[in-house]
Structure 1
Amino acid sequence: MTTQNFNLPDVGEGLTEAEIVAWKVAPGDTVAINDVLVEIETAKSLVELPSPHAGVVGELLVSEGTTVEVGSPIISFVSDAGPAATPPNPAPAGEETGGSVLVGYGTGAGATSRRTRPAIRPVRSSVGVIAKPPIRKLARDLGVDLSSVTPTGSDGEVTRDDVVGHAAQASVFRNIETPEWGDVREEIVPAPSSAPVGLARGIAPTQSQIGADAERTESIPVKGVRKVSASAMVQSAYSAPHVTVWKEVDATRSMELVKRLKASPDYADIKVSPLLIVARAVIWAVRRNPMVNAAWVETENGAEIAVRHYVNLGIAAATPRGLLVPNIKDAQELSMKDLARALNRLTLTARDGKTPPADQQGGTFTITNIGVFGMDAGTPIINPGEAGILAMGTISQKPWVVDGEVRPRYVTTVAGSFDHRVVDGDGMSRFIADVAAILEEPALLVD
């Protein structure tokens, strides 16, 4: 009987480590090539690893919840006749063979697969990339493949900003699970002071006090998606001068349009929400105010402003594993129905934590819907590589003056943060006013 280990591969994202999330097999199971062995979490997404072998599972070498480095053995296979599923000369790393097997491990002669799964992208090399050791370490920490980063430094060198900007997906808002209420409805809490009472009196806290505090404190490791987004937030907040403007809007007619679309047979299989109207409004307003869709770019010859004539529309999505900001490529080309379908796909994939890395790159403008959390307005942080972000507040009925009379209307607040190096205050103000105009009268979209 022989034993063969399967090592954690680089799945083509510049991966240096990953967390074992959930095993899909157990010792003694018989698996075929391409059967899913395990679900892992990289710095950007969840990935299912298919089996490169056909055989019997021997041992799970790493427990769930453990982070391991690329190349570490994670599972073993046992067989009586040796590893027949792997040819004597496997394909070179990064080269695919027939059968959609895992890249770099080859496929067995005559082996068949019970199910077809997409092949993992070929491994790319960063050997020829010009980057200093600290930058390479940063790239490893953030899960960035240096060969996919566009360098802006002198002589084609990859800089720190290049790496962080490539990895960055940021917004100030994220979903936090609400804890359960305790049995005590009300309690009296002493007013805070500059120091605990014991210290104010010159009395050190006792060991029992320290132990009690430790029992009430939970430590959460910062890794994966949250590590990348945290780095991006700091990068954005301290590199781009943020300014925020906002406007209260009568969105009654937009709500009426949403109601009509929901009742339309053409949208029977599509979930329609006010976010669809906001997305269309943003695309329309970007066309009228292109600087909000631009970016500040540092080059060896000085700074430049890149004005994009397309919209890769990012939607901030709160997921159980942290914030993701996938974007809809060339959203300006989509019809209302196609945009609604794209929003549906984006949302469902993000909630499952399976947004492909490509969908998280190349965004030009972002919407964060804080209204789903009951928030009226906010001052969101701009995604690195972008110049603006719009926060959509909750839509609720309020008294509103219409033709000199107070009436109940559906009212919301739209807020926009912008990079003041790229966009002037009047430019962002016009943009927010245009978005508000569409929400007040969505018929303007018909042109």
Structure 2
Amino acid sequence: MRYFNLPDLGEGLLEAEIIEWHVASGDSVAADQILVTVETAKAIVEIPSPREGVVAAMFGQPGDIVHVGEPLVEYVSDGHESQTVVGELHVAARSEASEDRFIIGAAQAPGTRGPVRATPSVRALAKRLNVDIGRVTGSGPQGLISAADIERVAKLEKEKGPSIPLRGVRRFMAKSMALSRDHVVPVTINDDCNLANWPDGTDPTLRLLKAIVSGCEAEPILNSWLDN
């Protein structure tokens, strides 16, 4: 076994998020030594090495999503094992450019999210403004991202406040809720409430707004929305 793929973690789970690597490239590991900690929709799981050997490479960084069957670790070949890899291993090639006349990334096919197309100066601007360029939609030809696109996103993010990644259990909950929204007929349920004991002149709307404000002060994430 040269490549160790993400194993079936049970309960029908098809993917996991990398939380922390416990090894590095070049490390010698023993069988059952913990390689990586991942988080699924159910729990945080430590994945052990199925064999002893030397780690040649790890696939994925903390925060990345790995699907069952995709490679996690590559071991250094000891010369006695088959070099055949079942399936096709895709490793994204990175291109570098130092002048603005070069465009990093190819044109993407319609309906797909391909490589980001932007000049080095635009990428540098995104890094300086702390904008995730992978989430920016380019307004130029074939999706080319301009400096104006980066500045527009930076302004929006400044106005709406800091963003936090949707990870772990919350991420899986959001996916399940979105799936339900798209496939289940929406239903509105109404009920009556007896307010006879409220003081005269009490405004139910104002009282409700005060309750919402109190809730948001206690849990600020209530005053948020899902971006994309």
> What's the TM-score once normalised by structure 2's chain length?
0.43
> What's the TM-score once normalised by structure 1's chain length?
0.24
Larger radius of gyration: 1
Greater fraction of residues in strand: 1
